[in-house]
Amino acid sequence: MTVKQQFQAESKRLLEMMIHSIYSNKEIFLRELISNASDAIDKIYYRALTDDSLMFNKDDYFIRIEADQANKTLKITDTGIGMTKEELENNLGVIAKSGSRAFKSENELKDGYDIIGQFGVGFYSAFMVADEVTVISKALGAETAYKWHSDGADGFTIEPAEKAEVGTEITLKIKENTEDEQYEEYLDEYRVQSIIKKYSDFIRYPIKMDVTTSRLKEGTEDEFEEVTEEQIINSMVPIWRKNRNELTDEDYENFYTEKHYGFDKPLAHAHISVDGAIRYNAILYIPEKMPFDFYTKEYEKGLELYSSGVLIMDKCAELLPDYYSFVKGMVDSEDLSLNISREILQQDRQLKAIARNIETRITNVLKSLLKDDREKYETFFEAFGRQLKFGIYNEYGANKDKLQDLLLFHSSNEKKLVSLDEYVERMPDEQKYIYYASGDSIDRIEKMPQTELVADKGYEIFYFTDEIDEFTIRMLMNYKEKEFRSVSSGDLGIETDDTDQTETDDQENKELFESMKEILASKVKDVRLSKRLRSHPVCIATEGEMSIEMEKILNSLPN
Ligand code: ADP
Ligand code: MG
């Protein structure tokens, strides 16, 4: 007797959600199963390329889809690497890797319906359309095949099975139509074909299926006959090898989703083909939203790396500088060896050249976005602008020239985000410095007495609300030969003509200032008459290098 095993708790919840899914875009289950099949063939291909004892004959590798109307089953067969008994247990009994990234909390699981559509949940999505799933698999090098079976959230069984060839065969028992849900369409030849075309066209291995067509009977002029023959449904050309002109924005968006690069829709993409001293194809994306783990240790930057069409690394970190760690996408190059190790990769000259090239491309994509689609750029900047600021601050400002024109800050001018260039362009001739004020919020900055004199002069002030802002511009020091100056600095460079008067006033109030200084002895260095105030009675100013805000931040850091 075979024992029923339980799903891991988290998986069970996800599974239940799939089973009762009210999610309308159920057709994506096929995309998920085909992409797993393709991954499995990739693995065997990769193995053969790096192991001389294995041969890979391309014709032997394919994915096959069979719809059986009579038995109401849809079968997906692949000639990939297969799964051992343990792998069946561990890989299918546990929440999908990509899925676990998507579902972190109980709440996200509850509200997750939208996530299903945008972000694959892998194998379990089969349960959106099937009430029984059977997987028969034979792993490369294994003697026996095994059968995994489940009819829902209460568990699964595994037992030995018959299967001659290495690979996996997944049979879905398609649910019966209900009053408000259609399932049987997934047994329809044309419907299935169109789903394959829509999501899996670029899969590099043939997806075969029997197709019935009506054609003229031989020897007759008006008699037709039905012919069923096996056809390859997908075009098999990976999107990055296609011509840009043939592709629509939707194609790129589909690829982004298919690849699980993110939940969102990308804001912009770049399709690059370089054929010169270095050769590579790449598709890069600027995401719209920050991934939820972006500022955690778990977040790994990197691009997918392919060597002549074979995936060799999921996240190649060497391809992206830290300040562009939000970029998603892939690179395919013929010039990289397949069995390259991570250590060698780090020193690989080709890879370094590609990385430099890619960095320039990303900078250009962002610059044109800023120029041509300000709204999109601001969405991007709200999500990832900090990353650019850190990029300037880090490495002693080595990258500031590349990044400074991508910065935006709030400013007193129309309360919009403003670039350094825009600020400098409209500076009056006599204005010496680029002024800024730091504070917790725009509201609070606007109430700062220190801003009064500068604002009175009609000069624009940058409002720094992000802790990193001031550190960033200190690293820049100046922009287009204009120095940055904090409004709380002692010298604002704003001329006043009644210096004598100040001195007399200072003398007259000497005693008052002395006693104030005594009272505030531990808090201030000096008390002076100020000319910068309008409606506020006092303000704090600094003389040294550091502004009050910076001191606050530095003091709050752990030692
Ligand atoms: P993901 O593909 O994101 O890892 P899935 O839920 O789609 O998550 O699949 C879980 C795991 O099951 C895969 O990582 C793979 O190890 C295994 N798997 C699924 N389908 C196949 C298959 N057709 N052949 C071999 N292994 C498979
Ligand atoms: Mg998968």
Check whether 448 has a pLDDT greater than 80.
Answer: yes
Confidence of residue 78 (pLDDT cuts 50, 70, 90): very high
Asked if pLDDT for residue 97 goes beyond 60, the answer is no
Residue 511 has pLDDT above 70, yes or no: yes
Task: Name which residue leads in pLDDT, 388 or 309.
Answer: 388
pLDDT at 7: 85
pLDDT at residue 230 greater than cutoff 50: yes
Would the CB of 217 count as within 6 Å of ligand 1? no
Give the percent of the chain with pLDDT over 70.
Answer: 86
Residue 547 — φ and ψ, nearest 5°?
-85, 165
**Residue 118: predicted pLDDT:** 42
Higher pLDDT, 486 or 500: 486
Confidence of residue 518 (pLDDT cuts 50, 70, 90): confident
pLDDT tens-digit map of 204-226: 899 999 999 888 888 888 899 99
Q: What's the average model confidence in pLDDT over 31-51?
A: 88
Lowest mean pLDDT among 189-203, 414-428, 497-511: 497-511
**Nearest CA among 473, 455, 456, 458 for reference residue 428:** 458
Q: Is the Cβ–Cβ distance between 156 and 88 less than 8 Å?
A: no
Cα(122) to ligand 1 centroid in Å equals 7
Quickly state the pLDDT bin for 109 (edges 50, 70, 90).
very low
Q: Are 160 and 145 in contact (CB under 8 A)?
A: yes
Task: Indicate yes or no: pTM above 0.80.
Answer: no
**Residue closest by Cα to atom 11 of ligand 1:** 91
Q: Considering every ligand atom, which ligand is closest to the CA of 97?
A: 1
Among residues 163, 192, 155, 175, the alpha carbon closest in space to that of 84 is found at: 163
Q: Is residue 556's pLDDT more than 70?
A: no
State the Cα–Cα distance between residues 89 and 35, nearest whole angstrom: 20
- Residue range 11-30: average pLDDT? 79
91 annotated ligand-binding residue: yes
Helix (H) or strand (E) holding 362: helix 349-372
Q: Is 542 annotated as a binding residue?
A: no
Ligand 1 contact via 494 beta carbon (within 6 Å): no
**Contact present, 81 and 166 (Cβ < 8 Å):** yes
Report residue 302's pLDDT band, with 50, 70 and 90 as the boundaries: very high
For residues 360-383, one letter each, b for 16 or more C-beta atoms within 10 angstroms of the residue's C-beta and e for the rest, the string is ebbbebbeebbeeeeeebbbbbeb
More confident site: 135 or 102: 135
Query: Which one, of 272, 203, 268, 269, lies nearest residue 232 by Cα?
Result: 203
The percentage of the chain sitting over the pLDDT mark of 90, rounded to a whole number, equals 52
Report the largest interatomic distance among the alpha carbons of the chain, rounded to a whole angstrom. 120
Residue 552 has pLDDT above 80, yes or no: no
Q: What is the mean pLDDT of residues 19-26?
A: 74
pLDDT bracket for residue 101 (50, 70, 90): very low
> Of 129, 114, 104, whose CA–CA distance to 13 is shortest?
104
Task: Note the pLDDT of residue 100.
Answer: 41
pLDDT level of residue 533 (50, 70, 90 thresholds): low
Residue 58 pLDDT level (bands cut at 50, 70, 90):
confident
Interface predicted TM-score of the whole assembly (ipTM), two decimals = 0.99
CA of 325 to the centre of ligand 1 (A): 27
pLDDT of residue 372: 96
Whether the pLDDT of residue 106 is over 60: the answer is no
Q: Taking residues 103-111, what's their average pLDDT? A: 46
40 lines ligand 1 (CB under 6 A): yes
Pairing of strands 63-68, 207-216: parallel
In the structure, ligand 2 is a single-atom ion and the residues with CB under 5 Å from it are 36, 122
Task: Report how far apart, in Å, the C-alpha atoms of 117 and of each of 61, 181, 251 are.
Answer: 29, 17, 16
Looking at per-residue pLDDT, the higher value among 157 and 215 belongs to 157
Mean local confidence (pLDDT), 305-327? 88
Residue 96 CB less than 6 A away from ligand 1: yes
Question: What is the full DSSP assignment across 326-361?
Answer: T-EEEEEETTS-TT--HHHHHH-HHHHHHHHHHHHH
Q: Which two tokens stand for residue 367?
A: 């610059």
Ligand 1, atom 21: closest residue by C-alpha: 36
Pairwise CA distance, residues 373 & 388, whole Å: 19
pLDDT band at 469 (very low <50, low <70, confident <90, very high): very high
- Alpha-carbon span 221 to 270, nearest angstrom: 52
Q: Give residue 45's pLDDT.
A: 87
Half-sphere exposure of 395 (CA within 13 A, CB side): 12
Among the ranges given (49-53, 431-435, 490-494), the one the predictor scored with the smallest mean pLDDT: 490-494
d(CA 442, CA 275): 49
SS3 state at 487: coil
* 130-138 and 145-150 beta bridge pairing: antiparallel
Q: Which residue has the higher pLDDT, 113 or 193?
A: 193
Work out the average pLDDT over 392-414: 93
Q: What angle do CA 68, 72, 76 make, to 5 degrees?
A: 55
Q: Is the pLDDT of residue 366 over 90?
A: yes
Alpha-carbon gap, residue 351 to 313, rounded angstroms? 13
Residue-level pLDDT at 105: 46
Cα of 123 vs centre of ligand 1, distance in Å, is 7
Q: Flag whether 257 is marked binding.
A: no
CA distance 300 to 303: 10
State the distance from the centre of ligand 1 to the C-alpha of 313, rounded, in angstroms.
17
pLDDT of residue 84: 97
385 is in an annotated binding site: no
Structure tokens at 280: 């590579």
Q: Which of 549, 552, 513, 515 is nearest to 529 (CA)?
A: 513
Mean pLDDT (the chain) is: 86
∠ CA(304), CA(256), CA(115), 5° rounding? Answer: 115
Buried residues in 507-546 as b, exposed as e (16+ CB within 10 A): eeeeeeeeeeeeeeeeeeeebebbebeeeeeebebbeeee
> Whose Cα sits closest to atom 8 in ligand 1?
96
Mean pLDDT for the stretch of residues 328-357:
83
Task: Pick the residue whose CA is nearest to atom 5 on ligand 1.
Answer: 122
Which carries the bigger pLDDT value, residue 222 or residue 118?
Answer: 222
Nearest ligand (C-alpha, residue 42):
1
Q: Is residue 281 scored above 70 in pLDDT? A: yes
Q: Ligand 1 within 6 A of 77 CB?
A: no
Mean pLDDT of 411-426: 91
Please indicate if the annotation marks 543 as binding a ligand: no
> Of 414 and 196, which is predicted with more confidence?
196
Stretch among 231-245, 380-394, 445-459 having the lowest mean pLDDT? 445-459
Query: Tokens in use for 75?
Result: 């079968």
Work out the pLDDT band at 111, boundaries 50, 70, 90: very low
Ligand 1: does its nearest atom lie under 6 Å from the Cβ of 123?
Answer: yes
